[in-house]
Structure 1
Amino acid sequence: MNTTLRLGILVATLSISHPLAAHEGPANSESGSNPDNTIGTIDFRADCSQSVRADIDHALGMMHHMMYTQARSEFEAIIEDNPDCAMAHWGVATSLFQPLWGTTPSDADISRGQQAIQQARNAAEDRREQLLIEATAAFFETETDRVQERLAGWTGGMDTAYQAYPDDLDVATLYALSLLTKALSAEDRKALHNEAEQVLRTAWKAEPSHPGAVHYTIHATDADGRGDNATEIVDSYTRIAPNVPHALHMPSHIYVRLGDWPRMIDWNQQSADVAVNHKIEGATSFHYIHALDYLVYGHLQRGEDSAARRVWEAAQANGPHQGNFPGAYHLASIPARLAVETRDWKAAAAITPQTPDYISWDKFAWPDGLSWFARGLGAVHTGDLETAREAEQQMAALVESAKTAADGRFTTYIEVDRRILAGSIAQAEGDSERAIELMRSAGELETTAEKHPVTPGALLPPYEALGDLLLALDRPVAALQAYEDSDRTWPNRYNTLEGAARAADAAGDAESASLWSRRLKDAAPDNERTFTAI
């Protein structure tokens, strides 16, 4: 497949409606001369015809960018003219599962992956390629209904490949990705993240524009307390692939960890502008609404509520959206986030779960739980405890159903929110101590699971909720401690900063009140909400 054909595939799947140069931001100064198909530097040297090696590199680069559908299209195009290219068949199979996204491949995907693996095996002669093929084969040939067990086969296979070829950049970066996959369900996440970071930094030093080295580094440092670890690598991403929407979005995973809302907003606006016309089977790619949810979150933390609502209006106008897990998550989270963050409890109470109806909501317990959480909170605050209790019961049922999900963290996320809602109900029923106990237990539970990469942040962090509760109970010193605890995990959130300022003022701590008030003013200079500086 030549460059012209590859560009044709890219244009067909990623139509760009706005030139990147129209935006101001760190990427523009170095991206203007890059062609549309720039994806970074890959030099895999596939054991295929010399004429298609560059095409394999490009498709592999797209897979490192987690543009899985586009990568698969490119690998399939290579197979049409080069059916004996083992890595093209391997690429088709490997693009059918997404290790960090918590998705469950369909039966059709499993069957397709098995067929592609067999074709790859039949064509492979190179030992390095055989090891990569067997790693992917372990995913598709494990007899189980649990995606985690399938992924365990792949991570084991990648360990074998890496031990044999530790200096191969693509093997090394995929191995690092497998470590991050293992960390999703491991007790000692820190050790796995440490090793992944080390492997990826070594790869980045060898080739600073390798997309896997940069992309997976962001995931390795998108963890509590790690956001500052590799900002020089993170900041390089958009220069590598200035027209790949996921590349334009990824740095914001670190900016949200650092509470840097202007950068988060800038990059996600650019990502959304690139992704908006990216269609998959008639639906707008989830990369678009993924960027929009991060945009909404950023605007809300700056008190720019009108801008956040306009983003949601744009999302609704540019649907239907892809009906996969990320698409479902954001379609649920954005309206819930707008209501809960702005404390618009009437809007929260009016949320209808499982909307829109073109999403198969029964497959997505956590996204469904977000709607019930917001609805329940709205019901509590508008005095409808019967509806609030119904929402809490629905969430309890979703906790059980999520136990069979691809990602074991889903049960934790739903249960954290359920406890917050249960605490709110207990407070409304007059049992303040029970309410505090539930809120604290939600905060403790939250620490057992890292933030999922699909989300910019919680709808209502548990320690922020605890701070609100304690402040309402006239316990400002304890409330301030809760807000401080929340700020360490979710820094620079508008409601945390405002709550801390009010708690400090109520506690008679003028110096602390002034500090938190200044932080809020700095984070939200164009604040639309009512807040008098302390």
Structure 2
Amino acid sequence: MNTWYRLSLVVVLATLSLSAPAGQAPGNTGTAARGGDAIGTTDFHANCLEGVRADVDHALGLMHHMMYTQARAEFEAITKADPDCAMAHWGVATTLFQPLWGTTPNAADITLGRQSVENARKATDIERERLLIEATAAFFESDTDQVRERLAGWIEGMDAAYDAFPDDLNVASLYALSRLTLALSAEDRQALHDEAEAVLRAAWENEPTHPGAVHYSIHATDADGRAANATEIVDSYTEIAPSVPHALHMPSHIYVRLGDWPRTIDWNQQSAKVAVEHKMQGATSFHYIHATDYLVYGHLQRGEDSAALGIWEGAQANGPHQGNFPGAFHLASIPARLAVETRNWEAAAAITPRAVDYIDWDKFSWPEAVSWFARGLGAVHTGDVETAREAEQRLATLAENARSAADQRFSTYIEVDRRILAGWIANAEGDPERAIELMRSAGELEATVEKHPVTPGALLPPYEALGDVLLAQGRPAEALVAYQQSNRIWPQRYNTLAGAARAADAAGDSEAAAQWSRRLLEAAPGSEREPVNGIKAVAERQN
């Protein structure tokens, strides 16, 4: 089925009540909730014992919310209650890989996935179920050790499933997820996001509480220039799954893109409050530290540094945290963010990479690189160029190591940061033009990838860094242009707004200085940082 046909089809589906032919799930109208454990509406009509069908729906809903570990536990319980429930075995296997997260299943996961697929195959002859099973089978039966190549088989399998059953909301939602997965490595990301967004909007308009339609819509619009496309879908999440941590967190992906810090803070406060109670093998679920990083980021953009620090101190007390990729990333990024965002270069220089001893850092090049980037920035800004060079070299090594990572973007993210640090080193060594060239190349490279969903934002966006170095070189008019460019990509960041106000003021553009100053004061009305006093003076002069 070609893309144009699909796009036409979903427009039709958006206006029709989806009905199913004989032998297929008749409309997704049931609510998967147990005793107040609301997760939204997923009515799959699995070919299982009647007594476990609601449990299948609940587990599938959790999977759509990307609560993969919890969903797997529920699917496993169903396989014990009804060994012939094919969709429970399929669910066990499908929760072992997370398409958008770049995680790598270990050997035990691959073995379990293959066995679960075989169990599922033996238990059904229903075509809809068979196609979903074969899509998941393609991931586990591949001989490659590269996750993105395994995912290619799953993507192709979901294409076949959607061709056959485009009016099934669960199939459509997973198909849209496969489009977004394909977009991670495709040159034409825009068309894939367009298609995913259209498929998901059709599903949402048919069933506004379907967790896959809502959740994956956020991922479809969590891209440069798309964040405003689905705010009504985003806002509906609050009514769907009030006790699911990841559901309470997800809307903030859009509000970060829009620079709406109060909403970013509010959603992640709710998520963290619920997630801290979720334990995984003696560790606090990564959904808690994930919400915490977004929460810290939101407070820092409002200049509420004490609140941000207090949240981090509380998070450390609530450990240990899951030692997976998100856990490793946030345990590295939060202390780095606190230092770099507040321009506390002494604290940044003191950051120790691999500080958390229960993380297997050899698996996580990008999280480790975040620590080295902050350390290098701190060193160069405190005059220790030798340590900054050491950090820059380590970033180069980690970028090379990350080329074989499950997510091809990891290497690019590290290289962007390496070029920013190299630019500051060049500036410190008296080569200002080389510094600017490196910063600009970092910005151009950043434009080739989307923000990863694990992070609320860059530790130091390249065009913000370019503005900083131009301002340091006494070139405020050029700095203002750089800050403006950064604000288009990462809107309403405290340091971008403050930098633009200072640059405009230094360039003698009083009107622009006042405009940027007012924007900062609106974004960070209770800022604790000293520079805001000067910004207030600039704004008052224009008034």
TM-score by length of 1: 0.93
CA-CA distance at 1:479 after TM superposition: 0.3
Cross-structure match for 1:257: 257
2: distance between equivalents of 1:299 and 1:179?
33
Question: Where does 1:482-501 land on structure 2 (aligned, <5 Å)?
Answer: 482-501=482-501
2: distance between equivalents of 1:245 and 1:506?
45
Cross-structure match for 2:225: 225
Cross-structure match for 2:7: none
Q: Secondary structure in 2 aligned to 1:229?
A: helix
Cross-structure match for 1:287: 287
Following TM superposition, the consecutive aligned residue runs of length 4 or more in structure 1 with deviations greater than 2 angstroms are 33-36
1: distance between equivalents of 2:403 and 2:35?
45
2: distance between equivalents of 1:501 and 1:265?
25
CA-CA distance at 1:444 after TM superposition: 0.5
Contact 1:366 1:414 in 2 (8 A): yes
Consecutive unaligned residues in structure 1, runs of 5 or more: 1-32
CA-CA distance at 1:497 after TM superposition: 0.1
2: distance between equivalents of 1:513 and 1:105?
51
Contact 1:172 1:199 in 2 (8 A): yes
2: distance between equivalents of 1:182 and 1:106?
22
Cross-structure match for 1:275: 275
1: distance between equivalents of 2:95 and 2:145?
19
Consecutive unaligned residues in structure 2, runs of 5 or more: 1-32, 539-543
CA-CA distance at 1:34 after TM superposition: 9.7
Contact 1:36 1:243 in 2 (8 A): no
2: distance between equivalents of 1:165 and 1:355?
49
Cross-structure match for 2:447: 447
2: distance between equivalents of 1:87 and 1:390?
52
CA-CA distance at 1:35 after TM superposition: 5.0
1: distance between equivalents of 2:469 and 2:314?
34
Cα-to-partner distance string for 1:246-300 (whole Å, 9 max, x where unaligned):
0000000000000000000011001000010210010100000000000000000
Q: Percent of aligned pairs with the same residue?
A: 76
Q: How many residues align?
A: 502
Cross-structure match for 1:133: 133
Question: Where does 1:390-405 land on structure 2 (aligned, <5 Å)?
Answer: 390-405=390-405
CA-CA distance at 1:126 after TM superposition: 0.5
Cross-structure match for 1:235: 235
Contact 1:34 1:242 in 2 (8 A): no
Contact 1:417 1:442 in 2 (8 A): yes
1: distance between equivalents of 2:211 and 2:355?
36
Letter in 1 for 2:414: I
Residues 402 and 70 of structure 1: CA distance in aligned 2, closer, same or farther (over 3 Å): same
Q: Secondary structure in 1 aligned to 2:229?
A: coil
Cross-structure match for 1:173: 173
In the alignment, structure 1 residue 420 sits paired with structure 2 residue 420: yes
2: distance between equivalents of 1:141 and 1:237?
35
CA-CA distance at 1:124 after TM superposition: 1.3
Q: Secondary structure in 2 aligned to 1:236?
A: helix
2: distance between equivalents of 1:400 and 1:107?
24
CA-CA distance at 1:81 after TM superposition: 1.3
Letter in 1 for 2:430: G
2: distance between equivalents of 1:92 and 1:221?
28
Contact 1:93 1:117 in 2 (8 A): yes
Cross-structure match for 2:57: 57
Contact 1:345 1:379 in 2 (8 A): yes
Contact 1:300 1:308 in 2 (8 A): yes
Contact 1:248 1:271 in 2 (8 A): yes
Cross-structure match for 1:79: 79
CA-CA distance at 1:37 after TM superposition: 1.1
Cross-structure match for 2:108: 108
CA-CA distance at 1:36 after TM superposition: 3.8
1: distance between equivalents of 2:475 and 2:382?
23
2: distance between equivalents of 1:202 and 1:270?
28
In the alignment, structure 1 residue 194 sits paired with structure 2 residue 194: yes
2: distance between equivalents of 1:199 and 1:289?
31
Q: Secondary structure in 1 aligned to 2:277?
A: coil
Contact 1:341 1:459 in 2 (8 A): yes
TM-score by length of 2: 0.92
Letter in 2 for 1:78: I
1: distance between equivalents of 2:411 and 2:73?
34
2: distance between equivalents of 1:192 and 1:385?
44
Letter in 1 for 2:178: S
Larger RCO of the pair (alpha carbons < 8 Å, separation 6+): 1
Letter in 2 for 1:407: D
CA-CA distance at 1:49 after TM superposition: 1.0
2: distance between equivalents of 1:98 and 1:512?
45
Question: Where does 1:402-413 land on structure 2 (aligned, <5 Å)?
Answer: 402-413=402-413
Cross-structure match for 1:474: 474
What is the RMSD computed on CA atoms of the aligned residues? Answer: 0.9
2: distance between equivalents of 1:214 and 1:389?
45
Letter in 2 for 1:187: E
1: distance between equivalents of 2:431 and 2:196?
46
CA-CA distance at 1:50 after TM superposition: 1.2
2: distance between equivalents of 1:91 and 1:220?
23
Q: Secondary structure in 2 aligned to 1:411?
A: helix
Letter in 2 for 1:364: F
CA-CA distance at 1:507 after TM superposition: 1.0
2: distance between equivalents of 1:450 and 1:187?
12
Cross-structure match for 1:21: none
Cα-to-partner distance string for 1:29-68 (whole Å, 9 max, x where unaligned):
xxxx995411000110001111111110000000000000
Cross-structure match for 1:211: 211
1: distance between equivalents of 2:188 and 2:234?
24
